[in-house]
């Protein structure tokens, strides 16, 4: 199972970046986790978007879904004719909220482009060779971390979340933790997000094999983020950059090994 970063920015994208978007591939299966502004162009750089098996939207903040409108146009007006409806998994009520922005005709086209499914905490969703399990996290509205497994290894994408028991439950035992680290350190606790230090502590608490920080505030110093998270975690840490790839493989389970190092 391979992770490709398509968008690593929080809220707005700096030059050359995009908002939330991460591609997970295993064999012939490709699923997209979040589809924020700028993600579709980056996706098209690495994969024909028509080959997606499913899209998962973690929550209803614009930096996580805006390019679904663009994806809808791509699907509906594909050169070979309208694509079959694409499975789209998103929080309860969000599909209708998105359609409200469109004209009557646009809303009908939007509904025809996707097969919408509501995310339910703990309900496993099969997408080709992958299984995705949403876990509700603490972000002030319905937001779901997404655990993705190929049967051997597990990736946990935290989505946007405050630190705490919900995030720990979502991340428990994962091989690769793709964690949001939105907040500059001096803003810890100011919003339902994590700092790099908090994301590192979450990886440590969860016994994750490795940590990749994403959803970074565009002006944050990413090397400093990496260093702070590594100090809190004690395991390998990277900061996501557009088009970086990570192989997700099983890790040795015993977290006490790491504490002793
Ligand atoms: Zn966000
Ligand atoms: Zn959010």
pLDDT at 6 over 90: yes
Half-sphere exposure of 203 (CA within 13 A, CB side): 35
pLDDT for the residue numbered 252 = 87
pLDDT in tens, 66-113: 999 999 999 999 999 999 999 999 999 999 999 999 999 999 999 999
pLDDT for the residue numbered 253 = 73
Claim: this prediction has a pTM higher than 0.75:
yes
Cα 59 to averaged position of ligand 2 atoms, centre (Å): 7
Cα 7 to averaged position of ligand 1 atoms, centre (Å): 11
Cα 253 to averaged position of ligand 1 atoms, centre (Å): 30
- Considering only CA atoms, which of 33, 69, 70 is closest in space to residue 53? 33
- Which of the ligands is closest to the CA of residue 59? 2
- Per-domain residue ranges of the chain: 2-260
Residues, Cβ < 5 Å to ion ligand 1: 61, 63, 160
pLDDT at 235 over 60: yes
Write b or e for each residue in 34-63: b if 16 or more Cβ atoms lie within 10 A of its Cβ, otherwise e. bbbbbbbebbeeebebeebbbbbbbbbbeb
Could you tell me what percent of the chain has a pLDDT over 90? 95
- Which of the ligands is closest to the CA of residue 63? 1
pLDDT band at 199 (very low <50, low <70, confident <90, very high): very high
Cα 208 from Cα 230, distance rounded (Å)? 12
For residue 104, give every residue at least 6 positions away whose Cβ sits within 8 Å of its Cβ, in sequence order, or none: none
Cα 139 to averaged position of ligand 2 atoms, centre (Å): 7
Could you tell me what percent of the chain has a pLDDT over 70? 97
Cα 249 to averaged position of ligand 2 atoms, centre (Å): 28
- Give mean pLDDT, residues 26-37: 98
pLDDT band at 28 (very low <50, low <70, confident <90, very high): very high
pLDDT at 37 over 50: yes
pLDDT at 133 over 60: yes
pLDDT in tens, 138-148: 999 899 999 99
pLDDT at 222 over 90: yes
Cα 165 to averaged position of ligand 1 atoms, centre (Å): 20
pLDDT for the residue numbered 257 = 52
CB of 181 within 8 A of CB of 211? Answer: no
Cα 81 to averaged position of ligand 1 atoms, centre (Å): 33
- Give mean pLDDT, residues 35-42: 98
pLDDT for the residue numbered 260 = 43
Question: CATH number for the 2-260 domain, one of 3.40.50.1820, 3.60.15.10, 3.90.1280.10, 3.40.50.2000?
Answer: 3.60.15.10
- Give mean pLDDT, residues 19-32: 98
pLDDT at 35 over 90: yes
- Give mean pLDDT, residues 153-179: 98
Cα 109 from Cα 93, distance rounded (Å)? 18
């Amino acid at each position: 199972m391979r992770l490709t970063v398509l968008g690593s920015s929080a809220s707005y994208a700096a030059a050359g970046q995009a908002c939330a978007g991460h591609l997970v591939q295993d064999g012939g299966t490709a699923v997209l986790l979040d589809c924020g502004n700028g993600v579709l162009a980056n996706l098209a750089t690495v994969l024909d978007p028509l080959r997606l098996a499913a899209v998962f939207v973690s929550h209803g903040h614009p930096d996580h879904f805006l390019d679904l409108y663009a994806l809808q146009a791509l699907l509906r007006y594909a050169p070979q004719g309208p694509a079959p409806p694409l499975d789209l998994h998103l929080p309860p009520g969000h599909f209708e909220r998105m359609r409200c922005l469109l004209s009557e005709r646009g809303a009908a086209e939007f509904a025809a482009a996707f097969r919408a499914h509501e995310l339910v905490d703990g309900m496993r969703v099969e997408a080709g060779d992958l299984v995705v399990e949403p876990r509700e996290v603490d972000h002030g509205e319905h937001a779901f971390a997404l655990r993705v497994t190929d049967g051997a290894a597990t990736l946990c994408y935290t989505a946007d979340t405050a630190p705490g028991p919900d995030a720990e439950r979502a991340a428990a035992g994962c091989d690769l933790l793709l964690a949001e680290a939105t907040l500059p350190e001096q803003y810890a606790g100011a919003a339902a997000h994590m700092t790099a230090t908090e994301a590192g502590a979450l990886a440590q608490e969860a016994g994750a094999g490795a940590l990749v920080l994403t959803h970074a505030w565009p002006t944050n110093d990413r090397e400093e983020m990496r260093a702070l998270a590594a100090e809190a975690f004690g395991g390998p840490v990277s900061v996501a950059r557009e088009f970086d790839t990570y192989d997700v493989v099983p890790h040795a389970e015993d977290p006490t090994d790491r504490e002793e190092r």
